[in-house]
Structure 1
């Protein structure tokens, strides 16, 4: 009689804690792959910046490479959502990771041989963006298939914790050390190894069925069928006010802040504060660590009763520290601003992922997730392309001040116009269904 009691106690601890999704074996493998993939992405982000700088490129060249990533995501994310609702999601993830591993290995070899050029970095950035457009809808659609509904908040919290720790802190920090000690090529090589590891984890997973019922009424022509699927996703978005308003706000926020965040912060560190790769890594680590702590805190509790209002307002408030980054002349002040931004960006992301997985019908989740990425990221290439030239025209400080002040009033307008306070009370998610 002792063994069942011990096992039950062990299980109850899993069920109470933020790590409870790990009692499902498939989730552990998926998270292992995601962690390795995010580490590779974090290494790429830092190594790519300093590889461009080493080649003599400035903000304009960095904008070009970053814009290619955004263009790739926008080009494929809608198709990625349709595919995620039709093709086994593990197969989609495996294909994208293989492409990422091959492209990462190729650019690392060129960098180590001293033959890399900016246009080659731009090509690899485009490939990474194209793969991301397929990866994230498939991941979002597969997660509810391997984790029960009552564990989704914790699962999204774990992802929200890993993303800042690994992608925004660990990967860039490791890359900063490798760049400072060796070269950007060394960091790119370690990133390529991480993408290979992500592929291995996916190979170890068992097949995951698609949560979709097939009917005889579906058209046989694949193109027509996929267009109908896409139209259904758009129709759901338009007739769902909280979803449409949040996505419109997110797209405008990204237009304002993504360019300064991805393109200009390295130059704020280098030119504004006189820092180098290690200081840039410190700023990214501050962003990542705070995001991880905020995500873990959100995963350890119930969804807030005012989940829609809290989510959007927190995103708006998260942008205010860009003003501090714009006027700072010390690395520690830039790191402080990044710390606050990371926390207030990451905590609402846990709410958002859980919200989609609990309120969107399962057969539409892949398409709605892809629309989330598409509508949210449609202005990302514009933001990244404009960040460099705009900062050169009006100044780095002015660009950061604009990025810090505009999003909050847009967030408040989205909450009020979509009547989110009434909607969140009519559809409570802070307690389990009876």
Structure 2
């Protein structure tokens, strides 16, 4: 009698993606992400083009971006009051419906003031929706499928950007900007309807303290939860790096590499393709503890940013950006999985919100400091300093995280 033929390890790991999607609750969450992120991408491109067209001002576009940034920061604070405190299904659906109404306002009355308000409110909703969604994943799939599930959610966003971004440009160019905004509103309605299929899970926190005490309680997590402090420091250092380098990549392309707009578009395409391919490495990374993968991802990107600041050949820069896309996507998925596994369930959503707050504040500070540094000494030092900050973040992670996480202390008890 012949022994059953064993499957190749990579084949077995790849099947985890199918197994994750076979979970009814996660499938609903994934489809909702697929729908709403399509609208997000359409809106992101159309809003910038629309604002520039009606105001003829780059400063006005920057103000819309600033409104979005402020919304993300305030939303992360609001998330501390509601994430973990409210059952996830009604919270996510309510946020989607509120975003649908807000997005519809821009379709009904497109104007610069409306664009400012909509950008702010949509960002506010995203900052509440995102940590609640992230903390829900471990409740919808078994632990061995967690990495695959996070990879699927990441790919849902990246893959659609390749289609939705140019489509939005075409629609706006043909005078159909209201249609784009209306489609964005419809995607939130579609997402909310899909989320009705989520299981009726209870809230995870039993805190009874008032709102004014909940924010200080969130920051107390740094002292109470094992491994959170190095994660916060890593997040802060990465935000101080990436905010500037992402915003000023177009300046590097033009000033240091002498690229025209088409060449810069090729660079962006290299990032997108790398980000799309990154999750393909997850079956291999699943064999390595995320406590090791995450610092390595920071270090690789840091070296890549320093390379961008030192090199001068456009092809070499594009290759580094392709690697950056692969590294960022696989690293982000591992980072997400690390938090979901290390942080106690009762405070996981607030932890995600705290990390989001750290990221958004650091990103805005980084953009300002990066612009100042570029003005004073040129664009190349911005990328070299950014690379050094990421390497520092990797060092913090390598020292502060353990390959086998210790049991985290739950400040609310278990």
The two structures share one fold, judged by TM-score above 0.5:
yes
Contact 2:69–2:360, Cα closer than 8 Å, also in 1: yes
Report what 1:341 is aligned to: 324
Deviates more, 1:408-417 or 1:175-184: 175-184
**1:128 matched to 2:122:** yes
**1:376 matched to 2:355:** no
Report what 1:193 is aligned to: 186
Contact 1:233–1:367, Cα closer than 8 Å, also in 2: yes
Report what 1:286 is aligned to: 270
2:299 & 2:116 partners in 1: Cα distance?
A: 31
Report what 1:251 is aligned to: 236
* Alpha carbons of structure 1 residues 415 and 14: separation in structure 2 relative to 1, 3 Å: closer
Aligned length: 394
TM-score normalized by structure 2? 0.81
* Alpha carbons of structure 1 residues 390 and 40: separation in structure 2 relative to 1, 3 Å: farther
1:257 & 1:394 partners in 2: Cα distance?
A: 19
2:250 & 2:279 partners in 1: Cα distance?
A: 25
Contact 1:18–1:300, Cα closer than 8 Å, also in 2: no
**1:407 matched to 2:401:** no
What RMSD in Å do the two structures reach over aligned CA positions? Answer: 3.4
**1:352 matched to 2:335:** yes
Q: How does 1:20-419 map to 2 (within 5 A)?
A: 20-54=19-53, 55-58=55-58, 60-111=59-110, 116-117=111-112, 119-167=113-161, 169-180=162-173, 187-212=180-205, 214=206, 219=208, 224-240=209-225, 242-261=227-246, 263-265=247-249, 273-275=259-261, 283-299=267-283, 302-305=286-289, 307-322=290-305, 335-385=318-368, 391=374, 394-403=377-386, 405-415=387-397, 417-418=399-400
1:301 & 1:231 partners in 2: Cα distance?
A: 36
Q: State the shift of 1:17 in Å.
A: 2.9
Contact 1:162–1:292, Cα closer than 8 Å, also in 2: no
Contact 2:271–2:322, Cα closer than 8 Å, also in 1: yes
- Cα deviation code 1:212-270 (max 9, x no counterpart): 4x4xxx64xxxx34455544443333344632112212212212222441x33456668
Q: State the shift of 1:130 in Å.
A: 0.8
TM-score normalized by structure 1? 0.78
1:280 & 1:369 partners in 2: Cα distance?
A: 33
- Cα deviation code 1:123-142 (max 9, x no counterpart): 22211221122111211222
2:174 & 2:313 partners in 1: Cα distance?
A: 23
Q: State the shift of 1:14 in Å.
A: 9.6
* Alpha carbons of structure 1 residues 123 and 227: separation in structure 2 relative to 1, 3 Å: same
2:52 & 2:296 partners in 1: Cα distance?
A: 36
**1:424 matched to 2:378:** no
Report what 2:6 is aligned to: none
Report what 2:3 is aligned to: none
Q: State the shift of 1:315 in Å.
A: 2.0
Say which SS state the counterpart of residue 17 (structure 1) adopts. Answer: helix
- Cα deviation code 1:48-93 (max 9, x no counterpart): 33334433223x4443322222221221213314412111112221
* Alpha carbons of structure 1 residues 14 and 335: separation in structure 2 relative to 1, 3 Å: closer
